[in-house]
Every structure is written in structure tokens, then in C-alpha cells.
Structure 1
Amino acid sequence: MHAEKRTLNVHEEKRNELLSSMRIMNIHVKENVCEILELAGIKESDLNIMTQSLYSMQDHQANDMILLEVDEEILKGLNQGDAISFRGNKHDNAMLCTQICTYEVREAEISNSWLLVPNLKLGKTTDIEEVTERTIERHNIKKIFNLYYEVKETKPDLIYLSSLLKSSSFNGLEYESTIDRNVLYSWERLQNELQASDQELKQALSDFLIVEIDGYLRLISFDIEARSLDLILDYFERQSWELDEVDKENIYEFLKELIYEPVFDVILKRFIEEKCCAVIAKVLLATSPVTEYKEFMKTWNIGTPEKMQPRERYLHGSALIMYNTSKLQKEVISCPEADLPNNIHDRLNELFEIKAKWTVEEITPYIIRFTKSIMNVNALLTKYARCSTKNGIKYYGSKHDK
């Protein structure tokens, strides 16, 4: 027993000695490798002919690297040369953005440490047939990973986009000298600060009336929009033009002293697009007064000119978007303003029977004809309807509802 124990102790001491020497000096000696294999009970004949020794480089670690797990869409985009970026301010949680999607980024632990070893050979590449003696290669570990980052697709939070743009609204050339340049946003600044993919950000911007002035994206104020559109429509009426007869150069030449050219271009384009899309929507609604929402939007998109984009607001005054609880689906329902009663009381009663609660934006096209100089839409609703608030949004319904 004592002899056996002494033999084990000698082997253990020898093994520890070899391991210690490996930590201190570069081992490129075949005999040392073979001795370690023998102590580990591994037959050299069971291994490929190449041995690779790994060494940690504490002073040369790649500390600027992280591991990121990506899904198929991100990988596909990277392979096609698309860029990905982390966006937001320094106080925001990290968000990863591709050209079309936005992702939450979360830190996760690795159960077994992962080593980053450049030029490490794997599998059959360590089996060199023409070499008969064991060869030894040294490789440096550039980084040891204990954490990685995983991503989860999410919807971008663009709730502050409107407030960012409103602070620098374009109110006319005469007010430009009062604008603080620090509140202006270029496309690049919006990209950096708002956590959204380029496609999602552009889609959100398309919901606003935006003009680019000196490289900055500016929201056209309501006053400028209303005044400019009124001038354009007045000129339309004078010329007795149909929608397809619009002569842009002719209009601008007449109005150039009254409307700033970039503003004129944006408003005229939006007006023509809205009118064109609205006419096509009316044709579809006449054919099918009630249509499943996705089917209607698909057909509407196919029917409009290539560079025009149908939007829900273009249906205001022509149709309603409502949820059918019996069919469990959203539907587009024909509701032409011209078919409603010409009396404000009867009209509101019918509207509230169709839909119990309305936003100001939804109901305005149906009651704007009853407004007067001292009685605008809000005044009409205050007089004839009951106001309620849900999730910070004002709704109007029948005054007789409890």
C-alpha cells in the first residue's frame, strides 16, 4: 500500500512540475507534450499529428470586442452588405437597428467560457499526412468571453418624434432668424438619437408634413399649411382645373411671392397624392362597401400610382375603419359624408349610432361644413357632443350617453 501510494505521489509531483513549467516557459518540445499525454492517460496514436498550445495574453486582450447573437434577418442583411448600428442617447437602453427592423439588446451569460483564438486549426486541418513526427504550434488567446448579447425584435418607440419636430417647426421665412439651431434635426441626427430602423423612421416621418431646409428636416406648421393650401386651392378654382390637369410650374409662378418653394412642393405633392388616393378608394368602396382591412389596403395600394402611398387618413370623410366583433376582424366600411343628413343634430345622431366614440380628426370631415367664423369644429363638438378621455386621447360621443 505504501509503495503504491508513494508511486502515485511521485506521478502527481511530476505532473504538477510539468504543468507549472508550462505556465512559465514556452513549451515547444515534443517530449514534454508526450509526457503530459502519458500522465493524462491519452495514447498519442489516438490523436492527430499536430498539437496546438494555447497561451493567454493578459496584456494584449481584445477588450473592444463583444459577442452578438443575431437572427436570420440580421445575418442576411450583413451578408448583403447592409449596416447595423446601436442607436439612442447615453441614458437609453441599447437598441440595435438594421435597415428595416429594430431590436432590443440583452446581456446573457455563457455557461462555459469561449476563447477567441486567431488562426486556430480545427478538425482535419490538424491531420498532416506528409508529416510523420508530432508538430507543435503556439496560439495566443485574444479574448475569453463569459458574456454575450442576444437580440429580440421590437417596435420602435417614436412617441417623441412629434415633439422633437414641433420645437423647430417652419412658420415662415420671416421667423427663421428666431430659430435656435440646436433644436434643428438633420436626418443623421434623427438616426443617431431615435431608436428605430431607417425604414421605420422614414415611415413615421411620412405621417408628417416635412420640408427639408438647409439640410434640416422641418415640420411645416399648421398655419403655413392651411394658408398655403388655401392659396393653391383658390388658384385651382380660378383655373377650373381637374386633378389630372394640374400644372405645377404655372401654379408656383403665380404663387412664388406668397409660398416658399420647398413648402409649395411638399404641400402640392401631398394634396395631389391625397386627392388621387381618395378618389381610387371611393371607387373601391362603391364596388365593395364592406371589406376586410388587409384585403382593402392591398387592393388600394395596387390601384394607386407607383409613387403614391395610400394612408388611412385619406379615407376620412369616405369610410370608417372598425372592428367587427362577430367576425373577429378589422374592416373598412363605406361612409360617404355626402350621404349623411344636412341637419347638424340629425347628422351627429347618425354618426354616433354608427360609432359611439370619435376623435376630432375622425369626425371633422363629417361636420366641417357646419362650421362658421365663430363656430369651429371644436366649438360644434363642445355644443352638441359629450367629451371623454381615454389613454390621453379625447373622444366625442352622444350627449345623451351616460
Structure 2
Amino acid sequence: MTQTERPNLPLFTEARPRTGYRLVQLPFELAAEIASNEHRFELKATDAESPVYLCSKTRTYQLLQLSQSNSLFLVTPEHAPDAMDIEGQAPSRFHATPVKTGYLECIPADPKPDLSYVPRYAGSEDLATVESELTYQELHSRTPVSETGLASAWRQAGGVEIDGRIYVLADDLVARLLIAIVDGTRAERLEWAALTAANTFGAVADEGEPQSVVTAVLRRFSDSPEEPYALNIPTIIKWFGERVLEEHGYSALRLADFDQLWAEALPTSLDEGRSLDLLKGRYVHPTPSSILYFPPSRLPTAPAARFDRLFDVKASWDTEDITPFLTDIEPNVDRINVLFMKHTKKKTVGKRTVVSRRGV
């Protein structure tokens, strides 16, 4: 149908903008998820001054305001039974509502849930002194992240629910139960790659903790969040090594002393597998024979400031050694090369690629 053949369709407009409408530009995958009606969507923010996130079951987007000079109208069809077209059918008429200039854009985000306010659980004997008032649903409602994102963070933090209230397991308790789980299941000749909550609890029942607590430790160090659980032995060894470094804080250790302390901290069933490669991005060598805890949490989050701090510690870095100190601010490893090009001087030395401070 040409423009001249089209019937006249009345267009009604309002003179004043409506403030109750905000336009949101949806990514294709999010629009498809909304159209499916399978999940609930929520707008969340930690407080009135914080960014707002649109959260689905599996995805999290930060909402950013984009302004433009063009006029924007929200146009909706409206049935008009009193106006008939040439074929005897009622045409649509349209209602155009001006909206505020600009719209909201959905930017994929991966915010880290703040679990610092969740009470720490140090053991059944201390439960009465740290009784929690929080439920998991309350945590979900106040945390601006998707359901799956929160579930993953909760698992990695050692979150547990006891009598309907939630806690995060204290590291001392995790260490004690992890040793009991590894050594106890080995003594019972259970396969570390196929554990259940029931048979693991049976092997450590003497620890006096409820099964939910034992299961929380098991899930935290398993390759799978569901049964059968498969203990990730390198992750366990790494966790104990980082714990030894953290306990010494800002004090450097002789490498030989650190290795001995690391071996003593591990379950007796894990007498092999220690390697500094497991701890990359968590330490530096003040001298060739010493080691110092140096996690990304101590470093600035702005890329330029992050590189300045790293080059203060060490004038030049192999790219494979410095990359683990950057993955928290740029999870996409392929894009870390962009950071190198923007903030460092990069050169090849033999088969190695080395970065250093610009202008030096």
C-alpha cells in the first residue's frame, strides 16, 4: 500500500510530557527473556545514591541515563470503532505521549555482592552470641545482582542457612572442617570426585557441626554446586597457602619458611601439590628468596593507578606475572592487552613479553 492509499489514521497527542514513563533500551537477549515470561525482573540498588541495576534470574545490567536533543514519544495503538476504512474494518488510531528527553541503557554488569554485613559463624558453641536476624530472601532483595550471581557468590563465601537465618562461615571454622572433610573422607575410602552431603557428614560427625555447615564447606570447594560433589584439590591447597600469607599480613617470609608453614596447614592427606603457580596474583617477591602477601584488594581499582602501584613494587613485569593482578578490574583476559597498550611500555625480551612504566 502506497502512502496515498493508506487510510487516515488519527493521531492523538498530549501537550504536556508524562513523568511516569521512562524508556529503557533492552539488549536482544534481555528482551527475549522478558517476552518468555519465565522469570521475574527486579530493579535494585543498595541505597538512594548507588547505581540502579536491572536483574533477571541469570543476568545483571546497570542502568545508565543517555540524553539526546530529539523529541521522544511513546506511541500506543488505540482501537477506533467509529472510524471505518475502505474495507469496512476499524483502523488503529495512535496515542502519542511525550516523554522526558533521553532513555536508559542496559549495560552488562558483574557487581560483587557485599556480604560484609552478614554475621560470621565461628561454630555451634558461639551461635548464641552471633544470632543472625537475616534471611536469604532479605539478602536477595537488598543485593543488586541476579539470582544466579548471588547464589554463586554465596557459595564461594561459605554462606550457610541455620534455622532459617543466614551466616558466612569464619575462616578458622572453614579450615578446621576442611581438614576434617579431606582426611575423614580419605579414611573412609570415599572418592573425592563423588561425595554426597550424607556420607561426608558421616565422616566428620565428631566435629559437632550441623550437616548444613559441613555441606556449605563441601560446596565451596567442589567443582559442582550440587551432588555428587567433587573436591577441587588444587583450590583447597591454594586456599590454605593464601591463608598462611594473609596471616602474616605485611611481613615478608623466607620462601623456605613459607613452604613449611603451608605444608603444616594442609590436611595430612594432601602432602603434595604445593606450587607458587597456584598463588599467582596474591604475592610478590621483595627479594629473590622471600615472599609477601600482596592481593588485588590492596590495590587501586582505576587502571592507571593500579599500574602505578604495581610498578612501584617492581619496575618491570612479565605479562604472565602481572596479568593475575588485573583480572579483578578486567575479567576479559583478551582485553587486558588493551590496558597494556594504554598504560604501559611493552617490549619483547627473547621469548618473554615485558611491560614497564611509560616514559622510563
Separation (CA, whole Å) in 1 of partners of 2:85 and 2:160: 65
Contact persistence 2:195–2:230 (CA under 8 A): no
Letter aligned with residue 210 of structure 1: G
Separation (CA, whole Å) in 2 of partners of 1:120 and 1:127: 13
| Partner SS, residue 105 of structure 1 | strand
Separation (CA, whole Å) in 2 of partners of 1:126 and 1:366: 89
1:313 maps to what in 2? 235
1:157 and 2:98 correspond: no
Q: CA deviation at 1:176?
A: 2.5
Separation (CA, whole Å) in 1 of partners of 2:229 and 2:191: 20
Separation (CA, whole Å) in 2 of partners of 1:229 and 1:66: 50
Contact persistence 1:209–1:219 (CA under 8 A): yes
Q: Any unmatched runs of 5+ in structure 2?
A: 240-252, 267-284, 300-313, 316-360
1:104 maps to what in 2? 62
1:262 and 2:212 correspond: yes
Q: CA deviation at 1:172?
A: 2.3
1:385 and 2:290 correspond: yes
Letter aligned with residue 258 of structure 1: G
Q: CA deviation at 1:245?
A: 9.0
Q: 2:23 aligns with which of 67, 70, 90?
A: 67
Deviation sequence 1:247-296 (CA, Å, 0-9, x none): 8656645726722221123334556x36xx9xxxxxxxxxxxxxxxxxxx
Letter aligned with residue 262 of structure 2: I
| Partner SS, residue 106 of structure 1 | strand
Q: Any unmatched runs of 5+ in structure 1?
A: 1-44, 278-304, 318-343, 350-362, 373-380, 395-400
Deviation sequence 1:79-125 (CA, Å, 0-9, x none): 2223322111322122222233222212234612314444167xxx9
Q: CA deviation at 1:77?
A: 0.8
Instruction: Name the structure with the higher helix share.
Output: 1
Q: 1:84 aligns with which of 37, 41, 50?
A: 41
Contact persistence 1:169–1:221 (CA under 8 A): yes
CA change 1:120–1:102 in 2 (3 A) is same
Contact persistence 2:157–2:168 (CA under 8 A): yes
1:54 and 2:4 correspond: no
2:78 maps to what in 1? 119
Instruction: Report the structure number with the largest CA radius of gyration.
Output: 1
Separation (CA, whole Å) in 1 of partners of 2:231 and 2:202: 28
Contact persistence 1:55–1:138 (CA under 8 A): no
Query: TM-score when scaled to structure 1?
Result: 0.50
Q: CA RMSD in A?
A: 4.8
Contact persistence 1:103–1:153 (CA under 8 A): yes
CA change 1:245–1:83 in 2 (3 A) is closer
Q: How many aligned residue pairs are there?
A: 260
| Partner SS, residue 112 of structure 1 | coil
Separation (CA, whole Å) in 2 of partners of 1:104 and 1:306: 35
Letter aligned with residue 227 of structure 1: R
2:98 maps to what in 1? 144
Deviation sequence 1:38-66 (CA, Å, 0-9, x none): xxxxxxx95755452626387xx865332
Contact persistence 1:50–1:128 (CA under 8 A): no
Separation (CA, whole Å) in 2 of partners of 1:130 and 1:309: 71
2:165 maps to what in 1? 216
Deviation sequence 1:344-394 (CA, Å, 0-9, x none): 97xx38xxxxxxxxxxxxx9778522679xxxxxxxx99962537575549
Separation (CA, whole Å) in 1 of partners of 2:27 and 2:104: 9
1:204 and 2:153 correspond: yes
Separation (CA, whole Å) in 1 of partners of 2:148 and 2:87: 54
Query: TM-score when scaled to structure 2?
Result: 0.54
